[in-house]
Amino acid sequence: MKVFIDPPNSMILFDLVERFGHEPLCAMIALREMVNNTEIDMPPMNISLDDVVKGLKYAGIEVPSGIRGRLAVWGPLIEEADAAIIMEDAPFAFGCVGCERSNQMVKYLIKKRGIPVVHVSYPENEEQGKLIVSKIKEFFEKLKEIS
């Protein structure tokens, strides 16, 4: 099962999804493909005209370019996802949480897709961390029963 993680560059969620035997869909994998692609039109920016156009599918021209750029990368991952994990209340320095508009659009796109989603809160201590792992494990077990 392909699972989109939010924040899309969370190594913690990436690792949990992999440990439970699923494929994490995240920013690191999508960006690796862009960086390793030798046909990049603008190497310092690692984008092509197609990437710019892709972003317009998810957000209008009046939306700031940074949001469109993020959605050009994350939007196709959301479309590919069978499920999603969203971490709420993460501190500013955790993952890519600096742009709240992008975060809102990602959550909207996930909701619009109608895929199964589990929401977890950022852990403040070890006990809460264990609860998150348990909640994600239960989520995957329920998904397994459904399919």
Q: Which of 48, 43, 136, 40 is nearest to 85 (CA)?
A: 136
| Residues 17-66 pLDDT 10s | 999 999 999 888 777 776 666 565 555 555 667 777 888 888 888 888 78
- What the block records as the tokens of 138 is 């239960």
pTM of the model: 0.85
Question: Comparing 147 with 133, which gets the higher pLDDT?
Answer: 133
What is the DSSP secondary-structure string of 45-85?
TTB-HHHHHHHHHHS-TTS-HHHHHHHHHHHHHHHH-SEEE
Write down the pLDDT at residue 64.
83
Q: Which CATH class is domain 2-146?
A: alpha beta
Q: What percent of the chain has pLDDT over 90?
A: 46
Enumerate the domain spans of the chain. Answer: 2-146
